[in-house]
Structure 1
Amino acid sequence: MADMVFTRRTALAAAGGVALSMPAFRRVRAAEVLHVNTWGGIWERAAIKNLFEPFTRDTGIEIRPVSPVSFAKLAQQVRSGAYEFDVTTLGAGEIIRANQANLLENLDSSDLVKSPPFPGAAFQNGASSHAFATVMAYQKARYPNGPPTGWADFWDQQKFPGSRCMQRYASRILPLALAADGVPTNTPSNQIYPMDINRAFRSLDKIKPNVRVWWTQGQQSQQLLRDGEIDLIALWHGRTLELIDEGKPIEIVWNQGQLERAYWVVARGTPRRDAAMRYLESALKPERVAGFCRDSLNGPLNPAAFQYLSAAESARMPTSPAYADKVFEQDILNFGGDVNAVTQRFERWIGS
């Protein structure tokens, strides 16, 4: 019996010792795990293969994806201190909002700022990763005598009759309206920005009666084109490439495509800040971002990435050197007005 009592006490003491040691053990493990916010789907698979797994091989730090991307979640967790993810991606407009709200870790002490791997590697506490483009796509059979080549053609119902479709997104559509109205885009410093907001709305007034759908979801825009319901559409280049890969009779127009950059950022106050900073530097390595963009249908912002891509692969990317004199970039910092006020005006215009 004494032996039995001793054994039980020993077991309880041992169990207590394990229990007491568990928080320390978990703290050590937490330092070896990084949570990265993703868009899910093909985007996440491309990131796991080309960005996450190589980082883990280099550092021993496991990356666990968390989706979907959420600006609201970023803000909530920074304010609460309960972190669901440490790293996420933001567009230019969102990154400016995030800095204004003090939601991001400062990159000034990072190598991305002190020794940038390429010009513009860091922007507003973000690491310049990749870009997508809003482009024009059309049904090839619809225009056998010559396709549209720019936004002025998209606006021209006489020369290019047919149904239109555009995104319900002010900061992407107003620049296209100015391009359609003759504002130059294909220059070293495009003249779209700062935007003449009133001129943009006057241009939109001309196309509004012909826009059958103002789409709000990428899948929706793609389905309208796939089903042949729309002849001409303004949509994301990746969605267009997916249809082309399916064998659909669709063509893409790179000329006057509107580039939008995406940036990796670190949530302010995350306890895994050091690992997150290491990830940002790793994710911009040219061979890694090249593979990620190839598989996710984006374009790398690191020019050296194109050394790791074939000519055919580069031709599918809006940041390809071949399109440098054709596309133009969105410039939220030089927008021409308050983005929120313009967005509200656009929504009222849609409903009028």
Structure 2
Amino acid sequence: MVKNTLLIILLISTAMQIQAEPLTVISYGGLHVKAQGEAFYKPFEEQTKIKLLTGEYNGEMAKIRSMVDTKNVSWDVVQVETGDLYRGCSEGLFEQIDWSTLKIDEESDYVDGSLSDCGAGFFIWSIVLAYDTHQFKTPPKDWKDFWDIKKFPGKRALRKSPILALEAALLADGVKPADIYTVLATPEGVDRAFKKLDEIKPYIQWWESGSQPMQWLISGNVVMTSAYNGRVYDAQEEGKPVGIVWNDSFYDMDSFAIVKGTKNKEAAERFITLTMQPENQKIYSEVAGYGFSNKKTAALLDKKTLEHLSTAPEHMENAHKLDPDFWIDHGETLQQRFNIWISE
């Protein structure tokens, strides 16, 4: 009897220790911290009584790779873009997710690609063209205008990456949206994109963090820029003179992935399950201004909020899907050429 009692106490104590083990979630920081805190972090801690340790990074996959290779995993859940998710999944850096065991809605209730082998796509983002409304009587309407220095004089900003810079260059050069990646997959197409970038190279400021485009635009350092739509929404909510062009925007999603070898896999799965619920995604969209992956979220949002999201039908009409498979196949080569070009 005493042995059984001691065994029960030991089991309860072990269970309490397991439950008390903090879960570490790493995101991209900035606006995401506030939105994720309200939509995911606080509700998760309240519902599960599991403490969250949160941190930020800039998407450095080398850190994750080092953790997995050395079996010294200190991060449990990380926010990743689709390209990094696919590469990390194929390299064994992330745990496989068995969606049949998680309490989520039907797969058809989610935007295509949300439920992948290793990731939970929890929001949709867009790269849009943003501009200073004080600068132009007639606002820019597409990437051709972005390249038009005479009609729209002044500095402009692009992300310091070949991703989206090359796609935008081809659109500005007259390539049809449906043909972008076919053209870019050829040596001639790559030459064409870089030649187009040459035209505005002296006028470009290269941003590296999501906060920079709006800072530069509001301060007058640039007159237009590529930017994450959530950042533009946030600036507009603050009453800043910032306009947005949805035409020719590019969209993709960010996902949460579980780092391979985590000791908190069960808690990580519970966290992911919560982030895929429409009630939580509603809060995220309201705070961050980004689109949702669970289609049921739309019915929970007011019309004003929906009009600002990348998932609004009128915004998706002339938007283009970023092709992660293309960048997995060609990204390393194009990054090398981009690095050489930008240093010349």
Distance of aligned partners of 1:164 and 1:109 in 2 relative to their CA distance in 1, 3 Å threshold: closer
Q: CA deviation at 1:223?
A: 2.2
| Structure 2 residue matching 1:131: 3-state secondary structure | strand
Q: Say whether 1:131 aligns with 2:98.
A: no
Alignment partners' CA distance in 2, 1:85 and 1:180: 41
Q: Say whether 1:347 aligns with 2:339.
A: yes
The C-alpha deviation readout for 1:175-211, integer Å capped at 9, x for no partner, is 11111112233xxxx4322433232222212222332
Alignment partners' CA distance in 1, 2:216 and 2:105: 47
Alignment partners' CA distance in 2, 1:72 and 1:25: 37
Please name the residue that 2:242 is paired with.
250
Distance of aligned partners of 1:183 and 1:23 in 2 relative to their CA distance in 1, 3 Å threshold: farther
Alignment partners' CA distance in 1, 2:208 and 2:327: 22
Q: Which amino acid aligns with 1:62?
A: K
Alignment partners' CA distance in 2, 1:310 and 1:184: 35
Distance of aligned partners of 1:124 and 1:177 in 2 relative to their CA distance in 1, 3 Å threshold: farther
Alignment partners' CA distance in 2, 1:125 and 1:142: 45
Q: Say whether 1:192 aligns with 2:180.
A: yes
Q: Which amino acid aligns with 2:89?
A: N
| Structure 2 residue matching 1:148: 3-state secondary structure | coil
Contact 2:132 2:218 in 1 (8 A): no
The C-alpha deviation readout for 1:310-333, integer Å capped at 9, x for no partner, is 111112221222312122121120
Runs of 4 or more off by more than 6 Å in structure 1? 21-24
The C-alpha deviation readout for 1:136-157, integer Å capped at 9, x for no partner, is 111212211x211100111122
Larger displacement relative to structure 2 (239-248 or 281-290): 239-248
| Structure 2 residue matching 1:120: 3-state secondary structure | coil
User: Which residue of the other structure, out of 50, 54, 71, is the alignment partner of 1:61?
Assistant: 50
| Structure 1 residue matching 2:261: 3-state secondary structure | coil
| Structure 2 residue matching 1:264: 3-state secondary structure | strand
User: Which residue of the other structure, out of 29, 37, 47, is the alignment partner of 2:17?
Assistant: 29
Q: CA deviation at 1:124?
A: 4.3
Contact 2:214 2:232 in 1 (8 A): yes
Alignment partners' CA distance in 2, 1:109 and 1:250: 41
Q: CA deviation at 1:133?
A: 1.8
The C-alpha deviation readout for 1:112-171, integer Å capped at 9, x for no partner, is 799524243312411111122221111212211x21110011112233233222221111
Q: Which amino acid aligns with 2:225?
A: I
Distance of aligned partners of 1:40 and 1:224 in 2 relative to their CA distance in 1, 3 Å threshold: closer
Larger displacement relative to structure 2 (233-242 or 285-294): 233-242
Matches of residues 198-347 of structure 1 in structure 2 within 5 Å? Answer: 198-211=191-204, 213-335=205-327, 338-347=330-339
Alignment partners' CA distance in 1, 2:89 and 2:230: 28
User: Which residue of the other structure, out of 86, 95, 98, is the alignment partner of 2:76?
Assistant: 86
**TM-score normalized with structure 2 length:** 0.85
Larger displacement relative to structure 2 (80-89 or 148-157): 80-89
Alignment partners' CA distance in 2, 1:179 and 1:111: 43
Q: Which amino acid aligns with 1:282?
A: L
Q: Say whether 1:179 aligns with 2:171.
A: yes
Task: Number of aligned residue pairs: give it.
Answer: 326
Please name the residue that 2:89 is paired with.
99
Please name the residue that 2:3 is paired with.
none
The CA RMSD measured in Å over matched residues stands at 2.6
The C-alpha deviation readout for 1:53-81, integer Å capped at 9, x for no partner, is 33344434333323336533322222233
Distance of aligned partners of 1:327 and 1:214 in 2 relative to their CA distance in 1, 3 Å threshold: same
Q: Which amino acid aligns with 2:36?
A: A
Q: Which amino acid aligns with 1:157?
A: I
Q: CA deviation at 1:339?
A: 0.3
Contact 2:135 2:223 in 1 (8 A): yes
Q: CA deviation at 1:87?
A: 0.8
| Structure 2 residue matching 1:218: 3-state secondary structure | coil
Alignment partners' CA distance in 2, 1:217 and 1:44: 14
| Structure 1 residue matching 2:181: 3-state secondary structure | coil
The C-alpha deviation readout for 1:326-349, integer Å capped at 9, x for no partner, is 221211203495201101101111
| Structure 2 residue matching 1:256: 3-state secondary structure | strand
**TM-score normalized with structure 1 length:** 0.83
Contact 1:197 1:336 in 2 (8 A): no
Distance of aligned partners of 1:124 and 1:158 in 2 relative to their CA distance in 1, 3 Å threshold: farther
Alignment partners' CA distance in 2, 1:80 and 1:222: 39
Please name the residue that 2:6 is paired with.
none
Distance of aligned partners of 1:93 and 1:319 in 2 relative to their CA distance in 1, 3 Å threshold: same
